[in-house]
Amino acid sequence: MSQEFVIEVDGLYKYFDQFCAVENLSLRARRGVTTALLGGNGAGKTTTIAMLLGLLTPTQGHIRILGEDMLQHRHRLLHRMNFSSPYVDLPQRLTIRENLTVYGHLYRLPRLKSRIDELAGALHLDTLLNKRYGQLSAGQKTRVSLAKSLLNEPELLLMDEPTASLDPDTADSIRSYLEQYQRDTGASILLASHNMAEVERMATDVIMMRKGQVVDTGTPDELQARYGRNNLEEVFIDIARHKEPA
Ligand SMILES: Nc1ncnc2c1ncn2[C@@H]1O[C@H](COP(=O)(O)OP(=O)(O)OP(=O)(O)O)[C@@H](O)[C@H]1O
């Protein structure tokens, strides 16, 4: 088993009818660090993450997660990973505690009640546990999605815009919590985000996508140096506008 990489993707394609959303994508994400998956709207980030989770079947290509083939060992692997997105809804009529309990049972977690209470405290959900999911604000739903994603203490966490719709104060405390979680557990994170300040703070490695393909990779510092820019936002705009490195 490869110790260095938690995600190994080779020659990945996804067609929706005639439309190619992901085209010959190959990428690596290293163990124990945060890798940012960046790209403009429609670049293929969510489609890629859905294939990494086995929610979408690739048209072609290979995906290895934690050293194992995703298509062959999906059920085993899903116990070791998790996913957070503010765009995926949970059952509206269940309370937050009920929702988290259902997910906890899916993972057959021991000491589920104390795990839910611990996460509720860390993510400021304690006063919301008995409220129905459908009654929550957008930011509160995002925090529930984060709690759901951490229930099984995943070794690999896939995050699609994890702090979208969070106020700056809450977003900052969530980032700190994720950083602490990573230090404590050695977890690896794949982070799709449009927030370049967030990426600069959290990501060790960056993968830039455009039109379903990887167009550049590197650390934030390497990319800034390559494009002669002072921050990732400017690098992002250069790449989105097809500018070549300086
Ligand atoms: N189920 C689908 N059927 C047809 N086309 C799809 C489907 N899902 C995604 N697409 C298309 O695939 C492309 C990639 O979409 P995707 O959601 O992966 O982009 P993204 O990088 O996550 O974008 P954003 O930053 O806007 O969330 C888009 O052009 C989108 O319209």
Distance 67 CA to ligand 1 centre (A): 27
Buried b (16+ CB within 10 A) or exposed e, 23-46: bebebbbebebbbbbbbbeebbbb
| Band of residue 1 on the pLDDT scale cut at 50, 70, 90 | very low
- Structural domains for the chain: 1-80+155-246 (3.40.50.300), 89-153 (no CATH)
CA–centroid distance, 20 to ligand 1, in Å, is 10
Q: 120-135: per-residue pLDDT in tens?
A: 999 999 999 999 999 9
- How many Å apart are CA 237 and CA 47, to the nearest integer? 22
* Burial label, 172 (beta-carbon count in 10 A; 0-12, 13-18, 19+): middle
The torsion angle over the Cα atoms of residues 96, 97, 99 and 101, rounded to 10 degrees, is 160
- CA-based R_g, the chain, Å: 18
**Pocket of ligand 1 contains residue 45 by CB under 6 Å:** yes
- Residue 25, ligand 1, Cβ within 6 A: no
The whole-chain average pLDDT of the chain stands at 93
Q: What is the distance in A from the centroid of ligand 1 to the CA of 16?
A: 9
Q: How far is it, in rounded angstroms, from Cα 162 to Cα 201?
A: 14
98 CB contacts (<8 Å, ≥6 apart)?
A: none
Find out whether the beta carbon of 130 lies less than 6 Å from any atom of ligand 1.
no
- Is residue 2 over pLDDT 70? no
Summarised one tens digit per residue, pLDDT across range 200-234 is 999 999 999 999 999 999 999 999 999 999 999 99
**Residue 125 contacts residue 143 (beta carbons within 8 Å):** yes
Q: What percent of the chain has pLDDT above 70?
A: 99
Residue 246 has pLDDT above 80, yes or no: no
